[in-house]
Structure 1
């Protein structure tokens, strides 16, 4: 019987390396797959190649730098120019990691695709659907980033790290074959910034989100000058003017007038969110549904009601939620199960 073949998104980090190692030990024929997404990616690709050699697996590099620039980077730049809060990692996962890489697997005789994401998948035979659950290690759970997956995609995905109880356990697993990775720090931040600030990156591109403008209060009164819309997000308290010693928070961004609107904490509290681009993991989900809501990757969890009328989705809350930011991904759960998610359009 032929061994099943699995492609592993191999970045050169401990999570993806351990994923490849585990799957090889389970008897899969493993192919390490590394994306070249930008010019400064060569060092990471070199490390990924060394990891593949250590494990003893095939390694391929797929150059998607042109399409990455025209999609993920441009989406991020445009979002800031519109006064939105983008989520480039979610966007990249959808179009590249679980888009182009998974498509490559399906088009080239590779049965499955795996990543180092911390989440769990199971197949519900009674309902005939695949279900996603939070990782056992709640501190590392990355199910938030997976809400856009379809049932057809889930059929071909494997997440070995979701069953590990801690990152220390993952590092221990890699400490033999991949000893040089076991102490490597986790990567954080926006990958394509290449160690410069977001503001500097946008400034180099002459983005309108770095053009100075006015701070105003909710009545439109001038309060001071800001350095560019990209430096502010809803709920922010730092780097704001304090006329007459009064403290403010960012409660709105008006991209058409290049203004940052300042107000009080009370102005940030909302009880209803309108959503776009909603994806449900269970296509037969019944509405209205009581759900647990995360407004960002590491936000607190809120209790809300998800409704759908005429194809329009809304989240309602009995207790107000703080600073839901247009453009940000919002994800809903039932206990540990990921139900779906969407993008925040507006909130009242």
Structure 2
């Protein structure tokens, strides 16, 4: 790479993004820091990102996307729970903001590349003239699942330095050389835009119907008890169903129209087929059908299956039964370490 190239780094104020900026600066890039303001309670993170930029002596931009984030991510989050599904706001944010509006901003200020602290890798395949998205070296920290919506044009512009590290501890050790200020910061957890991190409380604050009480019923419609609200439950859940229900039953379906949670047994959760929507293939040379390793959530076990097209839909047919895939989550396809693509579970 041309050492005089300009790279914009998405700075969150944490150790991964700060170390990303430091590494690229050491490689001779002209580094610029960019931080998204997505909600009001971000002052500490933005101040930390600014401190990283000042320590490295780089330019720093804060881009305010609060109104758009409210309209796109928060609205989707609330409505998905109200439909009885399980949202993944990180996937929505990555597509529309981090690798969407923020990346566009980076191009507008003349950046040749955009880098983030995501644990993933990319390579260029000269034989096929395509970019490939790969799992991170550290399987424990791998975040490639969250990036299945990227395109070839996106990958051309992206750099993922942290994906080459063996562990988070190794990243922290690297940060110590220049960024002691963030080297010991703990990983952020929970949903970033919920300041108090309490899902039910937040959904009540935004007047969501997903926290309205309703009935637990069996497959025949017989009432078994009262649930606290659709948002408190997910397919496959056995715990916190209430006295005499927990562990005797499992959540098998969520009916948003009737505001009912259907309870059943483990055998009701088993499936060998999924239908997807909004499917994206990163590798443009892939030919359907193909065999693949498949993850049905960020931390799910890996399943084997065939990805094919049927009646206009992308469908997965699994070789072994899969337990409790949740509508609203994504199923992501891998061949070896390469992310082929993925789609949202209908």
TM-score of the aligned structures, taking structure 2 as reference length: 0.97
Partner of 2:180: 179
The equivalent of 1:227 in structure 2 is 228
2:135 corresponds in structure 1 to 134
Q: Which residue of 1 is the match for residue 199 of structure 2? A: 198
DSSP-derived class of the 2:182 partner: coil
The 1:246/1:86 distance shift into structure 2, 3 A limit, reads closer
Instruction: Tell me the equivalent position of 1:296.
Output: 297
Secondary structure in structure 2 of the residue aligned to 1:132? strand
1:59–1:334 Cα change, 3 Å = same
- Partner residue, 2:32: 31
- In structure 2, what is the Cα distance between the partners aligned to 1:133 and 1:26? 22
The 8 Å contact of residues 32 and 57 in structure 1, kept in 2 or not, is answered as yes
Counterpart in 2 of 1:312? Answer: 313
Offset at residue 261 of structure 1 (A): 0.6
- Secondary structure at the aligned position of 1:155 is classed as helix
Cα shift readout 1:225-258 (whole Å, capped 9, x = no counterpart)? 0010000000111111354897011000000000
Question: What residue is the counterpart of 1:162 in the other structure?
Answer: 163
Distance 2:246 2:127 in 1: 62
**Post-superposition CA distance 1:92-145 (Å, at most 9, x none):** 000000001111122221111000000110000101110011111100000001
Which residue is equivalent to 2:63? 62
Q: Could you tell me how far apart the structure 2 residues matched to 1:246 and 1:159 are? A: 43
Structure-2 change in CA distance of 1:246 and 1:304 (3 Å):
closer
Structure 1 spans left out of the alignment, 5+ residues: none
* 8 Å Cα contact 1:223-1:243 kept in structure 2: no
Contact 1:32/1:52 (CA < 8 Å) preserved in 2? yes
Matched, 1:344 2:328: no
Report the Cα distance in structure 2 between the residues aligned to 1:35 and 1:90, rounded to whole angstroms.
16
CA contact (8 A) 2:122 2:131 kept: yes
Q: How far apart in 2 are the matches of 1:310 and 1:27?
A: 51
Structure 1 residue aligned with 2:88: 87
Mapping of residues 90-169 of structure 1, within 5 Å? 90-169=91-170
Asked if 1:278 is matched to 2:282, the reply is: no
| Partner Cα distance (1:302, 1:103) in 2 | 35
Partner Cα separation in structure 2 for residue 243 and residue 5 of structure 1 = 61
User: d(CA) in 2 for partners of 1:333 and 1:231?
Assistant: 31
Measured in 2, the distance between the counterparts of 1:251 and 1:241 equals: 16
Q: What SS class does the counterpart of residue 39 from structure 1 fall into?
A: coil
Alpha-carbon deviation of 1:318?
2.3
Shift of 1:176: 2.2
How many residues end up aligned between the 2 structures? 345
SS in 1 for 2:203: helix
Unaligned stretches of 5+ residues in structure 2: none
Matched position secondary structure for 2:183: coil
Q: Which moved more, 1:105-114 or 1:4-13?
A: 105-114
CA distance in 2, matches of 1:105, 1:197: 33
- Offset from partner CA, 1:138-192 (integer Å, 9 cap, x none): 0000000110000011100000011111111100000121112111111111100
| Corresponding position of 1:213 | 214
Residue 196 of structure 1: how far off its partner (Å)? 3.3
TM-score of the pair, normalised by structure 1: 0.97
SS in 2 for 1:89: helix
* 1:269 alignment partner in structure 2: 270
Q: Which region of structure 1 is more displaced relative to structure 2, 19-28 or 309-318?
A: 309-318
Aligned counterpart, 1:332: 333
1:112 to 1:217, Cα distance in 2 relative to 1, 3 A: same
